[in-house]
Amino acid sequence: MNRFFDFSPAQLKVIIFLTGFLLLLSLYRFIKSYSEVKPEGFNLSFNIGDGDLRYQTVFRVDLNHSPVDSLDLIPGIGPVLSRRIVAYRDSAGRFEKVDDILKVRGISRKLLEKIEPYLEVAPW
């Protein structure tokens, strides 16, 4: 005898049917709440966060004291540029301001605008 919490087979069928129906209804409401219907068709889109797609600077790296591996973490600077920055710092001395990084071979004004939020020059 195969009994599940003492339900009859007819009661089990009703419970399974209702469970499946609620699952399908929940899935439908989930998809509908995150989708838009446009004239050209059905588009499923998810909004994550507040919709602000700009990157926020999580960390700042000091040009005068940071090692190569810290500079390598900056988006847009790879291992080659980070080694060039440290080599320039070792040969020419400390950076007085962030714009001095333009003297390093391979750093353009456009790249500086991209990486400037991640850089700082500590006064000490």
Where in the chain are the domains? 9-44, 61-120
What is the distance, to the nearest Å, from the Cα of residue 116 to the centroid of all Cα atoms in its chain? 19
**pLDDT band of 80, cuts 50, 70, 90:** very high
pLDDT of res. 9: 86
Q: Distance between CA atoms of 66 and 55, rounded to whole angstroms?
A: 22
pLDDT of res. 121: 92
What is the distance, to the nearest Å, from the Cα of residue 60 to the centroid of all Cα atoms in its chain? 17
Structural contact between residues 77 and 71, judged by C-beta atoms closer than 8 angstroms = yes
Is the pLDDT at 45 greater than 70, yes or no? no
pLDDT of res. 46: 53
Structural contact between residues 65 and 89, judged by C-beta atoms closer than 8 angstroms = no
* Tokens representing residue 61 in the block: 């790296």
Least trusted range by pLDDT, from 14-23, 56-65, 108-117: 56-65
- Give the CATH number of domain 61-120: 1.10.150.320
pTM of the model: 0.54
Rg of the chain in Å (alpha carbons): 29
